[in-house]
Structure 1
Amino acid sequence: MQLIVYLLPFCGFLDFAAAGIFDIPKNVIKKMMGTNKEQSNSPYIFSQDNLDMLQRIRKVGFPAEAHAIQTEDGYLLTLYRIPNKNGPSVLLQHGLLSSFADFLISGKAKGLAFILANHGYDVWMGNFRGNTYSRAHVSLSPSDSKFWNFSFHEMGVYDLPAMILHITNITSQPLHTYIGHSMGTTASYVMAAERPEIARMVRLIISFAPVAFMTHIRSPIRFLTPFAGNIEGLLYLLGEDEFLPHSSLIQFMSKLACDMTFVQDKICTNLLFLILGFDREQFDVNLIPSILSTYPAGTSTKTLVHFAQEHNSGKFCQYDYGCVKNLQIYNTPEPPDYNLANITTPFAIFYAENDWLSGIPDVKRLISLLPNVVDEYKVPFPKFNHLDFLWAIDVPQLVYNKVLEVMKMEPTLMTKKMQS
């Protein structure tokens, strides 16, 4: 659940502006907004600004496809694929304010999508409605507030089913594994609870940094959630229903704040750790330009408010519209809980001790309510945090080797483990 973290580089930007460094030479601005030739040999595939996403993947030696799909409620989503038509299919799903690029940014040696492709999997990467790569609808424009009337509930009920149905139709096989990070896990629990006919098409669901219950988050953002109602009004005023789209202005300001060595090392990373948990040892600061080339990818304000409601209520439930509207929509004054007890799909839960957005007591509560948890894995590194599941220096050894092991587990063994 990447949250206010994407505003943090701007704090550094404002510090420099106050110090009288706002007057930037035009040649510096041109360099920041254009291609940085000094990075042309960078191992990170997002350092060449003039390449589109398919070209970036192909440039490092992998085939790539883009698939446009439509949800039942009319949203148009983009699925990216590193195809292996003879391999088992895997769907990777990003977190809040993110995109499919999460699984590529670390490069061909450490990016999860590339690692899975190298192990023979047919790799698919989804984009939730409203992000940079899924900003379309059959009848609504992103300039229409109705376009942004969604939260992670609709992502689970409509987006994931559309992706899974498309993949299974293309491959003529069930989805071998779904891997979600942060909000990608949240939507998977919604999907499995609300759309069991779709969940039965998935052999195994793996959760990185699971987010369902949020009572024990340690991030300072917990101090904002009691004001969810006021936050909603404020964010609607500032974002016009959309929160943090990936605009050229935001990208420029982010680069300005974080391309400077001191700010990059002292301000950007420290503020990021303040939100997500401190782990300087595992964070590669060289990734920051690559991260900022795709972040933030945008989402709806309603999604953020829904997460704030989860923290306030201590429940994992549908969106709270208030007593009157809840009665109209749900026929109850309170929003209904998602019924995790009815989920039959096997889950493997990966969590970390230093994840300030996915507290261990909340993870344990989730595990106790999911009937078919076939593996629970605490990363054996005490400082491992929320974003380390994507970009830690040693994430292949600390996490992805275990993922590959779990993915090879036979269905009969999963059944035995569930029954034991």
Structure 2
Amino acid sequence: MTAFSLNPEQTAWCEELRTLADERLRPLAEKGEPGRVNRPLVEALGELGLLDRLFAGEGPGGSAASQPPAPRATSGALGLCLLRESLAYACTEAETALALQGLGAHPVAAYGSALQREQWLAPARAGRAVAAFALSEPGAGSDAAALALRAEPDGASSWRLTGEKCWISNAPEADFYTVFARTTPGAGARGVTAFLVPADRAGLTGTPLDMLSPHPIGALAFDGVTVTGDDVLGEPDRGFRVAMTTLNRFRPSVGAFAVGMAGAALDATLAHTARRDAFGGKLKDLQAVAHQVAEMATRTEAARLMVHAAAAAYDRGEPDIARRAAMAKLMATETAQYVVDAAVQLHGARALQRGHLLEHLYREVRAPRIYEGASEVQRTIIAKELYAEQAQAQAAPQSATHEATHEAPREEPSA
């Protein structure tokens, strides 16, 4: 298997996931209340074993988690991408519930203590505890290193959290939060610590925000919330690494979510233009329409390949994952926006009717271009990585020349 093709096992698994999402998860999604956590849906994801897939192979210090590993062909970052793409194609609500659960609980799986994992990861995997990832703040969205939530020392091994978080998915309804706070003022990314904070901790309150989103998004207020060493995820002042490791793992799969939506919009457009009568023939017979559909398909496939390549690179442990993940997320989310918008245009007014697939996708497709790093942030990451690679390449020949020049005098006396 390469990053550019799926083997029969992976293809069959994707088809199975689409059927599962359509038959088992979509009915639960349709019963949910917009803007609220759909707990029956989250529990179903746990019962079906899909949440387990998010944490396979994750453990403190990179050790394997206790649950049985997923089959190799459908595990790892690529397996996560196939899972998210397949669910998004058939039921975006199920995909989003799964992704938010993974984002909030992944730091516990990867960096949590045995006690934290027992108390919170086990119920999160089962879908009985809802997780949330609390990084963004009113003044620190894209610039994650500019966090202002203060973690002020309160004794030898405890802190008090004071400040705000904003635009937090699953807030204020989550059962626990992975919270990033500044423990060392003025230290930038090096002074941030990750904490696991239960929702019922004294001094923590939340407010729902009225957003263009099917799931809850809220603000959190921390009024001297006490956290101790037992609440730290990883190490003090190393929380930025926890955040970036989590985001790097999930960024390619955000692209997979977008590809799933683009695929659904493309297939709906193919079906519609093939049966729609227009100007004495079918809509697909118009060259302008056919070329538009071809462009939609080409961009969708290109985005899919970039997502798969980034995920495969992550699984292989390649050093350029930050650039690849950023490229995959950028390409896929921008492509999905284009494809869904084009699909709406080709469907006409019917696509704007409440309840139509494309009306739903049109609302869903906008947010991924912002969360987990806006498109502009992804471009910044890509450029930074490219220039860093260029600098390394230029330095290598100079270093080799210097070494050769330095070695020559030592060789001459022995000649």
Scaled by the length of structure 1, the TM-score of the pair is 0.24
**Highest RCO, 1 vs 2 (Cα 8 Å, sep ≥ 6):** 1
TM-score by length of 2: 0.24
